[in-house]
Structure 1
């Protein structure tokens, strides 16, 4: 018999709760709902009372945000799937910590994928360090924020300022760190371009994303390339050359 996963739905709109409940009943029979909550206060009490394995958490609640709820949790740390209307800042923060989210209206395929992933995490009893990183990032200065990188059988939390560059290798991205360590992540460079560009990183080539703080020099020969502090050289594509040169003037 398949082990059940116990969950709470936290959303201030009754229609959204009902829709998600029906989708879970139809598509995710491994999930048993313990209840539904419409506010941070109500959810805080229910989480302490029921100690759910998983919560479906709306970000905008009448008496605070989903992040507020998570900050107030102490001894209980359920797995979290955020459910939200499009909010660029919130989604950026969530993705930065490698957490799952569902956009409203919810697609049942995405729901199944997110639930399956959460179930695996719960059953393996992984400590949810990603939540802690999300909350700590709200207190850190931009370059002190940490990005969650899933490598092999663990999650590495890497301070943005310690990344020298990222290099694309098919559907993988290799992170080169100040420490000399290399981390290979099974996500595309395009995703990290979106995540790291707001923190000053430059996409200088189809295969290269760099931290401008780690540039040692710009070499004009051979069409122009960047020499990084770790001794590596990074090509600049013709299409991006003017954009990169303008950005270098501001460093």
Structure 2
């Protein structure tokens, strides 16, 4: 059985690959993708896999956007850090969902469910998915709360230039040059922010569209992005995500 894994976090991809190897050694990982357009390209150039594991929140937006760009003929098991309430909107239309961090027993259960369905197509109800995605955008935060010393500072999102994360910490940088520790992962930050205004460009940065100052084509067709506030290190975007990023910037 061949599967496609759509996952933009290297650690999560490694965990899933290890779990699959342990619980279902007959499964072959036919491919891995990490963005919307990379996935669309893979699906259009390769035979449909028997099963797709699809992370909902990718670095360049919602995985639901994949269904807008190409036909998905394979059954889908979603992987997500979303709360239960969001999953109810679509779980009946997919094989199953796995909440991160994924455990061995849940993976076993999902694969048993898949095999029992005798490989009948289980493509999600797109109208319901788009409705949920639109609701997510509507509910995006207009302010964030920053814990600073003995205060909670409400910061309007339009003042945010970018979020920066390392293995040790995450910080938010404002357009006025101030920065504060912000104890959230980039995945969680992306869930909170409006995807029309904020984009995760790599494993370290979530940037605000309105605070982009310059974009330069760099070596190997990567993009070098300059913000209106000095960044701790250069902001690079990979070649395979350049086209989708340009659509986001001009959208």
Q: Could you say which structure has the greater relative contact order, defined with CA pairs below 8 angstroms and 6 or more residues apart? A: 2
Q: TM-score of the superposition, structure 2-length normalised?
A: 0.47
The structure number with the bigger radius of gyration is 1
TM-score normalised to the size of structure 1?
A: 0.47
